[in-house]
Chains A and B, each alone.
Chain A
């Protein structure tokens, strides 16, 4: 794995994530982008309900903890109050694509000038491994013990594809952090999502295909392999929408 210097935007405290959990990598990428763009003093982050709930202790910018799924609405309020600040949310898949789907879609369609970092780990990590809206067909979880049956539990939600169908959002990209090449790609994407906001381009969401070795019942390496072999084929990486080169955005 890539070893980073601790970015300034990350507090000097131990993160509580499980060994091999990719939440830690994504935290670093977010903090690094904040450092590189010199926006820590203006940044306000919104933490989710999920494994990343304690993100308010990890990022050294001002932080607020939102109710489950409501981060995009909270971020909307903050951005409307302080349009010159840089507002971002950091959310899991249960948070963003299940309980908070309405808030996500509507923030996107309003093209709120905010940045969303979306951790798709195909599971409800914090509550101990229940089926998520993004769990794969056949995936065994605590609440799909015989594997996700699409006949009764429906199909996984492809958030990037879904949001890209809207006219509103400025920038939607899906990345992964399972190998060095993908981490580099993710780093660029996350930085761009913040740059878009600085330039007033509007709503940017980066979906990060992630791993949860603990609740997938795998070793960290097995989990990264599973990302490569199962997740990425279902959730292809790439830029799904990019209006940022267009003129006349807000």
Chain B
């Protein structure tokens, strides 16, 4: 039974994970995802689950790797500097084809950066992040409701495709309080014959591994994995379109930037500019087809980002440079205002001052 409750974004992720059957959480303290770990620390012992504050993000992600190899649902959460430390482990999880959820509540960088919201880990999240050829499925919530819903979705997709997924949020989304309809209880529905359970002397031993010393074999695992990725690109793209049917200016934004952009689009329409919003929900796979379609009837794109411009590269690729793409951005923990986005919309719409 579902109920609507007022929750912080970080807590909504935690509660949704528990409802998705996740009983193992490993993390290391970092702002601004603190409430998520605190929620897990409180709840897990009450429901027979495991909350463990690891000695580092490196240890945390390797504990995740351990649980994932047994087939149980498992997660870790962190913020940008911590997620950098997890990259080695994420690469191993991807290389061993294990399902797991990594949450990144982003803050400004590079280096120690700051503690204010950011989207500057877009490249790291969507292009692999660690060493080797691999992807994560990356979902970007833009409301507390989606923090919950997409957490459940991440677990489902991780199991379905046997791969790590990332929920890419930011400091604002984590702290924001909104009413949420919490997702129904769920759990693992797929068979996991590869999981480590002990042989019980009933079968050959299972091996969870990413080492292949013969290059032909390693190449094959890469080709097979990319085969799987192409199926995901076909079947799992998610995005939202707002006033896009007749749009001449297409604003592309995700997460907190999409909320700001929606206000700007509404204002632009009031002022007679045909603006629309395309909000990617899956950042990988990127909604390239939707962008390509928009490029056919729009005269310009505006990429609104809390970074120096990262997603803009995917927009340019997907639109095949059919029309100009303007960057509307703030960085280092700053958020673009609706006025700034509106100004960008007007700028590309041309002569509508």
Contacts and interface: CB of A to CB of B under 8 A. Distances in A.
B196 A64 contact: yes
Interface string A54-79: 00110111111111001001111111
Interface residues of A, number: 36
Contact of B206 (A40, A62, A86): A62
A82 B201 contact: no
Given A65-B210, A80-B50, A103-B55, A60 B62 contact: no
A103 B206 contact: no
A60 B199 contact: yes
A53 interface: yes
B147 interface: no
B208 interface: yes
Contacts of B340: none
B232 interface: no
B205 A61 contact: yes
Interface string B155-196: 000000000000000000000000000000000000000001
Interface in B204-226: 205-211
B135 interface: no
Given A62-B205, A63-B208, A70-B62, A78 B198 contact: no
B74 to A, nearest CB: 7
Interface string B48-92: 001010111011101111111110101000000000000011001
A42 interface: yes
B26 interface: yes
Contacts of A59: 205
A77 B207 contact: no
Contact of A67 (B50, B89, B207): B89
Interface in A69-125: 70, 73-82, 85-86, 102-103, 105-106
A43 interface: yes
A41 interface: yes
A183 interface: no
Contacts of A40: 199, 201
A44 interface: yes
B62 A64 contact: no
Nearest to B55: A106
A75 B24 CA distance: 14
B66 A64 contact: yes
Chain A's interface: helix, strand, loop or mixed, by majority? mixed
A44 B198 contact: yes
Contacts of B96: 64-65
A82 B198 contact: yes
Nearest to A38: B201
B27 to A, nearest CB: 13
Contacts of A77: 24, 26, 62-70, 74
A36 to B, nearest CB: 15
A102 B156 CA distance: 33
B299 to A, nearest CB: 49
B197 interface: yes
A67 B92 contact: yes
A37 to B, nearest CB: 13
Nearest to A60: B205
A82 B92 CA distance: 21
Contacts of B54: 73, 106
A217 B10 CA distance: 56
A73 B63 contact: yes
B200 interface: yes
B235 interface: no
A106 B26 CA distance: 14
A106 to B, nearest CB: 4
Contacts of A41: 198-202
A73 B62 CA distance: 6
A78 B67 contact: yes
A65 B93 CA distance: 11
Nearest to B93: A67
A217 B70 CA distance: 41
B197 A62 contact: yes
A81 B200 contact: no
A221 B60 CA distance: 43
Given A102-B55, A103-B55, A106-B55, A74 B62 contact: yes
B205 A80 contact: no
8 contacts: A64-B65, A64-B196, A70-B65, A78-B67, A80-B63, A81-B67, A81-B70, A85-B198
Q: Which 6 A-B pairs have the closest CB atoms?
A: A77-B66, A73-B62, A77-B63, A106-B55, A70-B62, A74-B66
Interface of A: 11, 40-44, 46, 53, 56-57, 59-67, 70, 73-82, 85-86, 102-103, 105-106
Given A70-B58, A74-B65, A102-B59, 19 more contacts: A41-B198, A53-B211, A59-B205, A60-B199, A64-B65, A64-B207, A66-B62, A67-B92, A74-B69, A76-B66, A77-B62, A77-B67, A77-B74, A78-B196, A80-B24, A81-B24, A81-B72, A81-B74, A103-B59
